[in-house]
Amino acid sequence: MLTSVDPDVIRVLGDPLRLQIVTLLARETLCTTHLVEETGAKQTNLSNHMKVLREAGIVETEPCGRFTYYKLKPEVLTGLSEQFAALAASARTAAENKRACP
C-alpha cells in the first residue's frame, strides 16, 4: 500500500507519557528507576507503559543485575520518518488531484 504509516506504532506514541519516555531514551539508555525520577510517574505505571512500548517493538530491554535498561530501536523511528516523508511528498502533489464533486 502506498505511503501508509503503521497505525500501531503511532497509536503507541500518541500517549504523552510514552512519547516523553521515547524522547528521554533517545538521549541515553535508562533503567526504570531513572525513568521514574525523570517523569515523576509511579513505577507500576511506568512498567505498564514500558510493556506497551516493548510489545510494539519500539524499545529493547537489557537486564543488568537487578536493573533493567531500556534502549530505543532506531530503525523504528527511521521507518516512521521515511513513511511521513513519503506521505508529505505525496501530499505535495495531491493538491491538484481534486476529485470531482459528485
Partner DNA sequence: CTCTCACATCATCACCCGCTGATACCAGCG
Partner DNA sequence: CGCTGGTATCAGCGGGTGATGATGTGAGAG
Confirm or reject binding of residue 56 to a second copy (CB under 8 A): no
Are residues 9 and 80 in contact, defined by beta-carbon separation less than 8 angstroms? yes
Confirm or reject binding of residue 29 to a second copy (CB under 8 A): yes
Closest approach, Cβ 46 to DNA, in A, equals: 7
Confirm or reject binding of residue 56 to DNA (CB under 7 A): no
Closest approach, Cβ 61 to a second copy, in A, equals: 13
Pick one of 33, 43, 45, 48: the residue that binds a second copy (CB under 8 A): 33
Pick one of 19, 23, 43, 84: the residue that binds DNA (CB under 7 A): 43
DSSP calls for 34-66:
HHHHHH---HHHHHHHHHHHHHTTSEEEEEETT
Measured CA to CA, the distance from residue 88 to residue 52 in angstroms comes to: 28
